[in-house]
Amino acid sequence: MADIEKILGKGSFTREDIISLLSVNGEERTLLFRRSAETKEKYIGKKLWFRGLIEFSNICSKDCLYCGIRKGNSNLLRYNLDDEEIITTARFAYDNSYGSVALQSGELESPIVTARIENLLHRIKDLSDGKLGITLSVGEQEPEVYRRWFEAGAHRYLLRIEATNESLYSKIHPDNSKHLFKRRLSCLKVLQDIGYQTGTGVMIGLPFQTLDDLAGDLLFFRDFNIDMCGMGPYIEHADTPLIKYAGELMPLQERFDLTLKMIAVLRIMMKDINIVAATALQAIDPIGREKAVMIGANIIMPNITPGQYRKNYKLYDNKPCTDDSAEDCQNCLEARVSLTDTEIVYGEWGDSKHYDRRRKGMDLG
Ligand code: 5AD
Ligand code: FES
């Protein structure tokens, strides 16, 4: 116990410290979670912001070995919402006082996709008088494309690095020019340089992954100076190549617990960034996202994708909320969040305070 208290008292953690923190159990685990909850309360408040998540297309040109919507999976119906459906969904978010929407899809790069998203960004800004914040999560793109979208009104971008150890990255992606670790890294750098609030993250409990890898992930987030983070447990999907390792994974409950520990340690390391309570947590524990909010996360992305499409955006098995409507998700989340002594902040963007501080070159007071 003394050791953990000593580590938690430090201003900065080493790789070994982080591995110790990720290994805690019993009272030490309670202490870690208490410290991260206090950190959230001090720097963010007992608050939570929504990003209405619109999964507007599951068409993907990539073949990540873990992902249910990979190009090589022919076992699902591909869809692409039309522009009017996307605009109606964004209006739902605005009418319900969600501060922001997040547009997410499979990865496609083409002039048509670029122009389409640019046009949608203008339309969403127009329909909300510029008031709806917009996060994009549509994968790797050329710098010029990222720039155009930034100018059209997207101000946050999520691109999970998935694994920061290049050798692990190469085990969970095909070995070809469409899946280069270096490109993913350089995309993140470009996003940050353009001025996006830049978010990344990893999956936890992947085959071959070690605690040392996870500690490296947290150090990467700190050194890269990210503004936002989304980390969730890896959950196998029957129609993906990685399913062959299903027997070697840690039990789901352990992946869940390790994800909570990653969130807690990151909150203590990066006090004022935005941390998402990932939907995948809820695939393991019905109140998984709320547990993450209690120990440090401050963002939830309620799914507002029109109901009939949801079942086809199955990144992993047992994905929650695929049978619900946007209204169901809001009511359900409000009821559950009310149990956590956390205020849902409506009508505000909920930008990462870290971003402002980073841009102004300020230290935490
Ligand atoms: N389990 C958990 N998360 C997954 N993702 C993709 N496939 C899985 C899976 N099998 C995550 C990736 C991606 C995000 C949109 O979903 O981290 O970046
Ligand atoms: Fe979708 Fe509960 S969050 S039904």
Taking CA atoms only, the protein residue closest to ligand 2 atom 4 is 329
Q: Which residues contact 206 (CB under 8 A, 6 or more apart)?
A: 66, 163, 168, 172, 234, 242
208 CA distance to ligand 2 middle (Å) = 32
Question: Which tens digits make up the pLDDT trace of 11-39?
Answer: 999 999 999 999 999 999 999 999 999 99
Question: Which tens digits make up the pLDDT trace of 205-222?
Answer: 999 999 999 999 999 999
2-358 is classed CATH 3.20.20.70: yes
Residue boundaries of the structural domains of the chain? 2-358
Q: Give dist(CA 344, CA 75) in Å, integer.
A: 38
Pick the atom of ligand 2 nearest to 321's CA. Answer: 1
By most ligand atoms within 8 Å of CB, the mutation choice from 324, 331, 334, 339 for ligand 2 is 324
Type of residue at 333: L
DSSP state of 362: P
Is the pLDDT at 118 greater than 70? The verdict is yes
Q: Given phi > 0 = left and psi -120 to 50 = alpha, else beta, which region is 225?
A: left
Q: Give dist(CA 88, CA 101) in Å, integer.
A: 12
Q: How large is the angle between the packed helices 252-269 and 15-22, nearest 10 degrees?
A: 140
From the CA of 314, which ligand is nearest? 1
SS3 26: helix
| Beta carbons of 249 and 233 less than 8 angstroms apart | no
Q: Ligand 2 in contact with 328 (CB < 6 A)?
A: yes
User: What is the per-residue pLDDT for 195?
Assistant: 97
pTM score of the predicted model: 0.96
Q: Give dist(CA 318, CA 283) in Å, integer.
A: 6
Question: Which tens digits make up the pLDDT trace of 172-195?
Answer: 999 999 999 999 999 999 999 999
Question: Which tens digits make up the pLDDT trace of 235-283?
Answer: 999 999 999 999 999 999 999 999 999 999 999 999 999 999 999 999 9
Six-digit token pair at 320? 């929650």
Taking CA atoms only, the protein residue closest to ligand 2 atom 3 is 329
Question: Which tens digits make up the pLDDT trace of 70-83?
Answer: 999 999 999 999 99
Give the residues surrounding ligand 1 with Cβ less than 6 Å away.
66-67, 160, 162, 203, 232, 234-235, 237, 280, 315-316
**DSSP output for 332-359:** HHHHHHGGGT-EEE-SS----HHHHHHH
Q: How large is the angle between the packed helices 181-194 and 143-151, nearest 10 degrees?
A: 30
Question: Beta strand 203-204 with 228-233: parallel, antiparallel or unpaired?
Answer: parallel
What is the 3 state secondary structure string of 219-266? Answer: HHHHHHCCCEEEEEECCCCCCCHHHHHHHHCCCHHHHHHHHHHHHHHH
